[in-house]
Amino acid sequence: NFSPLLPSSGSKRYNRKPQPKYELIQEVGRGSYGVVYEAAVKRTGARVAVKKIRCHSPENCCFFA
């Protein structure tokens, strides 16, 4: 069973623990669906907004990177 979306199990990249792309700086708001943070992209330092969505049933949630 080959999946083009996942590296092979022998890949060094596959065995590494993923590192966060963003550093959360401060909470800027809360709403019905989650919490919004001011964050910085670790690689570039660019300031962005990151929304952390509450999901009580993971099987019903979609995750995007």
Annotated binding-site positions for ATP: 52
Contact residues for 64 (Cβ-Cβ < 8 A; gap 6+) = none
Yes or no: say if 53 and 36 are a contact pair by the CB < 8 Å rule: no
- Binding residues are 52
Give the dihedral sign, CA 11/16/17/21.
Answer: negative
